[in-house]
Each structure stands twice: as C-alpha cells, then as structure tokens.
C-alpha cells in the first residue's frame, strides 16, 4: 500500500523485489502469515441510521405474533419512526456510531445506509445528514440512500397516493438540494407501495440524479418487483424471496444486481431467496445484513455469508464475492473498492482463517483480526486503533 491505495499485488518473490526497489522509503510491514487477506467487506443494504430498539417484538414473534399484531401493539417501522423523529442529530449519530463500530469489528469497511425512519422532510434529511457526517469521524464509509417510501407515516391516515405525491413534489427536491443521497429506494410490496407508485417515485428520483434501488418481491407472491427493477434499469433489486423466473431473467438482461438478505429470512423464520436459481440465471448476487431494529438486528456480514451457504446453496467463494466485488457494484463503487488490485483503495481485512472455506464455515464468531481502512490499520489483533 502507498498512502490509501493498493500499490502492488503479487507473489512473494515479486513482492520482495518491489520492496527492495523502495528501500530508501520508510516501509512498514504487516505480517499476515497464516491469515486470509480479503478486500474490506461491503454491506450494500442497511437501515443502520435509527434511534431506539425493538427487541420486545422478538418475544412477541416467538409466541407466534404476526407483523400486523406487532403493528397494533405499537411496534414495527412506525415505532422506530417515532423515536427517530424525536432523536436529536447528536443522539442519532451516537447510536449509529456504535453500529458502525460493530460493522468495522467484523471486517466491514463500507456500508450503504437508507433513510426511511423519518418519513417527513426534516427527519429524512436528518437521517441522511447523520449518515453523511459519520464519514468525517468514523473509518467505515457510509453511502446514503433516500428511502422516504419505506412506510406511509400515520399523519396520512393510509392515503398512500397523497404521501407518494408529497415524496415526489416536496421530499425529492429537498433531498436533491441537500445533495447527500446517491440512491433512491422504495419498499415495493403489497399493502405498502404498489408497482405503479414505486415506478413513479423511482422515475422522479432519477430526474434528480438518484439511482434506483428496490425492495422487491419480499413478502407477497404476486411478484412484479424484479420486472420493475429491470424496466427501470435499477442498480439492484433486493430481497427477491418471491421473484418470478421471468423477472430474474429480465434482471440478468439489464444487469440488475440481486442483493440477497438471508439474515432477514433467518431472523423472520422464512424460506430465503433462491440464490442458486438467481446465480444460474446469470444475475450477479450481492449479500447484505439488512441491519435494522425489527427484521434483522445484526452487523455481522460474515454470519450472513455462512447463512448464504447453509440456507441458499451458495459456495464460500460466491459468498465472499457477494460481500466484496459484487457488493461494490451494488453501491456503484466497483472501480474503487471490492477487490485487492493495484490502484484500488487499500481497504483490507486479515481474517484469522487459513482459507475462505474456514472463514465461511466457522460461523457466528468474529475472525476479523486486522482491518485496514484507506491504508491505515484501524483494528489490530481485534483491538480498535485510535489515532
Ligand atoms: Zn431493507
């Protein structure tokens, strides 16, 4: 590495020669013998900027409660919305920073983070501002996505069309004016936002330069989400538990990435997406935690890799590609991160594992030993290094 960039990658003798030629420069050697060097992991789908927590829902679900029961008991997205609206920017920043610490400890050096717990202009902009500001103080890079269409806020009394109009006419201009968000995402789902409403929001987002992403075909079996992602040329379609084979075929044609979230299926005790069929159809698959307080409270992307193999039939090599180079494509950063190549940013993890199969099979423990972000070791021997 030179500065924050990978300068050279190659076999031992060539590396030796490379070092010899630079003897006059100060060189620091990190001994990685016995370890697995991987690109810093990238989590391309999180809702990590939120206030509060909702673990009481876990007990309710274990007793058999459905999502609608939880909503009626005052839980669900709208509870997090209430707490996120009430939190000051400082409180939101502090709570999110803890999650970023946990991501980093697990070898994750970049995450995407969606708004969508504000559901009004001020609170949505606050979430995006917090995501953006954390880049100044925390080693994990946070890529903000605007997701005002995550749920319909209670003040609209179920008038989804009116809220969609508000998103298009008022929220999107404000988000564009703030200039932080890179992507626009919609929870396209039966009883949430229809295909037509999702299309309108994402097309309006495009006009403001926000690249489309889509929560697609997660719950309802009526489908159409994958097809819409392809039609819009979305960067990614996420979840896809019930995507049709025609939709997957069209995603392959348009180069839409499938972001799969087996941790969410595991936590909700559901059958996960059919990763094997999606990969076999020629769609690149990325993996993500979906980190959020209700359906996937975790920052462990390595555990998601294990689940991808155990529950979706992916190979360890596919799981690692899905959390590195494919995930980099899913956040529009494949030219800068996601692989160990000269010229790319020096985001590197040394796992205490002799090979990829060991890393992915040794499940639910943290094997990240050294984490290097932009050429600087920020974790060594599992211990955070402060400047
Ligand atoms: Zn999500």
Ligand 1 center to 148 CA (angstroms): 12
Ligand 1 center to 5 CA (angstroms): 31
Closest CA to 230 of 246, 210, 209, 206: 246
Query: What is the per-residue pLDDT for 96?
Result: 98
Ligand 1 center to 339 CA (angstroms): 25
Dump pLDDT digits (tens) for 19-61.
Answer: 899 888 888 889 999 999 999 999 999 999 999 999 999 999 9
Dump pLDDT digits (tens) for 121-179.
Answer: 999 999 999 999 999 999 999 999 999 999 999 999 999 999 999 999 999 999 999 99
Ligand 1 center to 117 CA (angstroms): 11
Query: What is the per-residue pLDDT for 197?
Result: 97
pLDDT at 79 over 80: yes
pLDDT at 330 over 90: yes
Across all residues in the chain, what is the average pLDDT? 96
Ligand 1 center to 237 CA (angstroms): 11
Query: What is the per-residue pLDDT for 169?
Result: 98
Query: What is the per-residue pLDDT for 264?
Result: 96
pLDDT at 321 over 80: yes
Ligand 1 center to 378 CA (angstroms): 28
Ligand 1 center to 259 CA (angstroms): 10
Query: What is the per-residue pLDDT for 72?
Result: 80
Ligand 1 center to 33 CA (angstroms): 38
pLDDT at 98 over 90: yes
Local confidence band at 271 (pLDDT 50, 70, 90 cut-offs) = very high
Ligand 1 center to 333 CA (angstroms): 20
Lookup: tokens for 368 = 């990240």
Ligand 1 center to 295 CA (angstroms): 9
Ligand 1 center to 383 CA (angstroms): 30
Dump pLDDT digits (tens) for 298-312.
Answer: 999 999 999 999 999
Ligand 1 center to 235 CA (angstroms): 15
Query: What is the per-residue pLDDT for 67?
Result: 78
Instruction: DSSP letter for 93, please.
Output: H
* Contact (CB, 8 A) for 251 and 228: no
DSSP secondary structure of 213-275: EEEESSS-SS--HHHHHHHHT-SEEEE-TT--HHHHHHHHHHTPEEEE-HHHHHHTT-----H
Ligand 1 center to 217 CA (angstroms): 12
Ligand 1 center to 26 CA (angstroms): 45
Dump pLDDT digits (tens) for 179-204.
Answer: 999 999 999 998 899 999 999 999 99
Residue with tokens 């050697």: 29
């Amino acid at each position: 590495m030179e500065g924050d960039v990978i300068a050279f990658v190659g076999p031992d003798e060539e590396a030796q020669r490379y070092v010899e030629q630079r003897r006059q420069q100060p060189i620091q050697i990190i001994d990685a013998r016995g370890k697995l060097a991987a690109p810093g992991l990238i989590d391309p789908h999180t809702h990590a900027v939120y206030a509060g927590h909702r673990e009481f829902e876990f007990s309710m679900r274990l007793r058999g409660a459905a999502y609608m029961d939880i909503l009626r008991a005052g839980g669900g997205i709208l509870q997090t919305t209430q707490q996120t609206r009430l939190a000051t920017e400082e409180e939101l920043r502090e709570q999110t920073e803890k999650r970023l610490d946990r991501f980093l400890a697990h070898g994750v050096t970049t995450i995407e983070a969606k708004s969508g717990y504000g559901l009004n202009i001020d609170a949505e902009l606050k979430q995006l501002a917090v995501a953006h500001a954390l880049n100044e103080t925390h080693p994990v890079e946070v890529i903000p996505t605007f997701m005002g269409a995550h749920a319909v806020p209670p003040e609209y009394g179920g008038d989804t069309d009116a809220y969609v109009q508000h998103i298009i006419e008022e929220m999107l201009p404000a988000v564009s004016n703030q200039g932080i968000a890179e992507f626009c995402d919609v929870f396209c789902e039966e009883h949430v936002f229809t295909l037509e409403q999702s299309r309108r929001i994402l097309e309006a987002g495009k006009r403001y330069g926000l690249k489309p992403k889509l929560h697609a075909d997660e719950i309802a079996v009526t489908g159409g989400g994958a097809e819409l992602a392809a039609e819009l040329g979305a960067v990614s379609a996420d979840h896809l538990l019930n995507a049709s084979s025609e939709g997957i075929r069209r995603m392959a044609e348009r180069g839409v990435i499938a972001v799969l979230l087996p941790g969410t299926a595991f936590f909700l005790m559901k059958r996960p997406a059919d990763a094997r069929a999606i990969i076999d159809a020629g769609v690149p698959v990325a993996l993500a935690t979906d980190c959020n307080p209700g359906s996937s409270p975790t920052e462990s992307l390595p555990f998601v890799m294990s689940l991808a193999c155990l529950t979706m039939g992916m190979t360890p090599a596919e799981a690692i590609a899905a959390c590195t180079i494919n995930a980099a494509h899913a956040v529009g950063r494949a030219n800068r991160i996601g692989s160990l190549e000269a010229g790319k940013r020096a985001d590197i993890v040394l796992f205490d594992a002799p090979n990829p199969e060991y890393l992915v099979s040794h499940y639910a423990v943290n094997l990240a030993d050294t984490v290097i972000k932009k050429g600087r070791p920020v974790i060594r021997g599992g211990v955070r290094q402060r400047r």
